[in-house]
Amino acid sequence: MAILHSVNVGLDRDAPYANLGHSGMDKRPVAGRVAVRTLGLEGDQVGDTKHHGGVDQAVYVFAREDLDWWAAELGQEIRDGMFAENLTTRGLDVNGAEVGERWRIGTAEFEVASVRIPCNDFKGWMGVGGYDNRAWVKRFGAVGRPGPYLRVLVEGEVGAGDEIAVVHRPGHGVTVSTMYRALTTRTDLLPELLRVEGLVAEARETAEKYVAARG
């Protein structure tokens, strides 16, 4: 059974490692039920609102299994929330989820909307945590398991231990990993993204430009 392993929130704090000098990347697990709103979790803040947050990046998800894989790679334990994820899952391949897939967690409902593209702030944050962050953006990206951003379709409450139910799967086969590769190292996959109904505007524009340039 797929479950919500941890709910993590963080405030926008001073952060010398971040490009803007402040960041909300330091997410920490919280106990009890947490309200889910259209723009994210109650008690959570986004530092770089130009590149993060908003309806299409309301909630960021990472699998506990992927954190454990990175822990083995880095030779150090990785706590829930360390990758700045709001929801840490267990028992669900979040990167194999299709874009547009819908999940019910607690009393809230979510839709897989976009993918995380690693940035230098992430590299800086890992360094502050004492991890080997050499070429971190490249290393993280090469694995191709970035974790999805979710839209909030139905507001509600979530808490650790809640079951994650997949209530809709579009069937087009365009997964989180496919979308990530298309937007980074495999631009030949960009036309595949146009099969996604409700694709985020920036990705659609990128895909349409690619197709138009090739006649």
114-126 residue pLDDT tens: 999 998 899 999 9
Residue 119 neighbours by CB under 8 Å, 6+ apart: 51, 137
Q: At residue 22, does pLDDT exceed 90?
A: no
The token duo for 9 is 């929130």
Q: pLDDT band at 30, cuts 50/70/90? A: very high
Helix (H) or strand (E) holding 89, with range, is strand 87-90
Half-sphere exposure of 142 (CA within 13 A, CB side): 6
pLDDT, position 70: 98
Which whole-number Å values give the CA distances from 161 to 106, 139, 208, in the listed order? 9, 31, 41
Q: Distance from CA of residue 208 to its chain's centroid?
A: 24
Distance CA 149, CA 200 (A): 11
Which whole-number Å values give the CA distances from 62 to 8, 20, 84, 190, in the listed order? 11, 24, 9, 23
Which whole-number Å values give the CA distances from 141 to 119, 151, 158, 212, in the listed order? 10, 22, 29, 27
pLDDT, position 17: 82
- What mean pLDDT, rounded, does the chain reach? 95
| Phi, psi of 33, rounded to the nearest 5 degrees | -85, 145
pLDDT, position 115: 97
Q: At residue 99, does pLDDT exceed 90?
A: yes
Q: At residue 53, does pLDDT exceed 90?
A: no
Q: Are 161 and 4 in contact (CB under 8 A)?
A: yes
Q: At residue 45, does pLDDT exceed 90?
A: no
